[in-house]
Amino acid sequence: PELGRRFAERKRCADLECSMLMCRGKAMRDFKGPDCRFVNFKKGEAVYVYYKLIGESTELWAGSVGSDFGYFPKDLLEINHNYSNEELELPTDVSLTFSVF
């Protein structure tokens, strides 16, 4: 995707704040993002998904690995647990902000 200010205009979340987990998966291979907006992970690590970008950049999801949060290509994740089957469509924020509890 183009590394502009926003990757997409809309996203899908499990709740209005995008703070509830949507799903969990296992990384199918190592990933090192091109900048600090991306989360890096190693093959086999657990990745937790909080929202999915829709529109122009449907290949990017946002989630956490440990205490790190960021974007990653959805194709690198093998989903092994869904926390929510409901998805709300919301506008994306200009900045990526998130707190891991």
pLDDT, tens digit (0-9, with 9 covering 90-100), for 44-63: 999 999 999 987 667 899 99
Task: Please give the tally of structural domains in the chain.
Answer: 1
pTM across the whole model: 0.82
Residue 47 domain boundaries: 10-89
User: Any idea which of 11-20, 38-47, 53-62 has the lowest mean pLDDT?
Assistant: 53-62
Residue 73 lies inside a defined structural domain of this protein: yes
CATH number at residue 69: 2.30.30.40
Q: What is the pLDDT of residues 77-90, one digit of tens each?
A: 999 999 988 899 99
Asked if residue 99 is part of any domain, the answer here is no
95 assigned to some structural domain: no
Rounded to an integer, what distance in angstroms lies between the CA atom of residue 11 and that of residue 16?
A: 11
pLDDT of residue 38: 95
Beta strands in 2-76 (DSSP E): 10-13, 23-27, 46-54, 60-65, 68-73
| Residue 76 near residue 42 (C-beta atoms within 8 A) | no
98 has a pLDDT exceeding 90: no
Task: Write down the H helix ranges in 51-99.
Answer: none
Place of tokens 């086999």: 44
